[in-house]
Amino acid sequence: MIDGMDIGQQALISIISHLIFIGFTFWALQALHFDKLLSAGRVFQARILYIFLTIAIGSSVSNFFLDYLHWSRQLQYIFK
């Protein structure tokens, strides 16, 4: 049985995880030179693309981490 406290803790962990992995992704993507791939004069569009790419990759990695954490917690039910 899941109570309100567990749901709140899971929500907080999910929010923090997403923010951390989005931050790591933003930091890691700065190593790439996207300016060589984009058209000149499209700075605003390039920044929006950079933000969307950062959110997509960071969220995917965070979801993998959270799924792994959830599955590892469920392993205890194998032995019951």
Helices (H), the chain: 4-29, 43-74
Cβ atoms 43, 75 nearer than 8 A? no
Q: Is the pLDDT of residue 49 over 70?
A: yes
pTM above 0.85, yes or no: no
pLDDT, residue 32, reads 86
Helices 43-74 and 4-29, packing angle to 10 deg: 140
* Range 35-46 average pLDDT: 79
CA separation for the pair 49, 51 (Å, rounded)? 5
Residues 6+ apart with CB under 8 A from 20: 62
* Range 32-41 average pLDDT: 77
* 37 membership: H or E segment, kind and range: none
Q: Predicted confidence band at 15 (pLDDT cuts at 50, 70, 90)?
A: very high
